[in-house]
Homo-oligomer: A and B are copies of this chain.
């Protein structure tokens, strides 16, 4: 993918192209790298999302707004947005990171996306950054479900079962694959009373549990 295509996907034309270059430079590659821009972009992102949620959900109390925001700015969501942009191809990483597949690491992708947001804020001011954030997060914003309010699947499943007075699900790791630094967990979620048994997998036990819970939730609902 050409740098031009990336700029078009981001939807913002930089006056100072070096800011975008810096945003895409991981510290393993050398200085100037993107950590300071990430610090800035993180706060811009939080502010834009807060303003958006405040306006869109005029009746929601503060606690629900906080939860929705946490859902939108979590690493997984940012990583998805970064992948949709094809940001990974444009990252500048040190050799060690390249070899270990760092261009695809969720934390590196999410951080780089925040850094890009910080770069836009510096280059074009708050309105430009807000437009970019709302564009980058559009799929996640569109998928926001007022009812589930950004609750994670395990919480949703638990609430659903409690409402029906059914015993809580049991989670257990049924397999792990791969070496220590790139393990993959396979988890089973069992709800005996409903004869429900679903599986999930992920890079952490928690992620795998969430996936299994999401599947159980869909089956029951």
Contacts and interface: CB of A to CB of B under 8 A. Distances in A.
Among A38, A60, A62, A118, max chain B CB count under 10 A is at A62
A178 interface: no
Interface in A126-146: 126-127
Copies of this subunit: 2
A179 B152 CA distance: 42
Contacts of A65: 36, 39
A54 B44 CA distance: 12
A39 B66 contact: yes
Interface in A87-127: 118, 121-122, 125-127
A44 B49 CA distance: 11
A37 to B, nearest CB: 8
Interface in A22-43: 35-36, 38-40, 42-43
Contacts of A47: 43-44, 46-47
Contact of A46 (B43, B51, B121, B125): B43
A61 interface: yes
Given A44-B47, A46-B46, A47-B47, A54 B66 contact: no
A50 interface: yes
Interface of A: 35-36, 38-40, 42-44, 46-47, 49-51, 54, 60-62, 65-66, 118, 121-122, 125-127
6 contacts: A36-B62, A39-B62, A39-B65, A40-B50, A40-B51, A44-B47
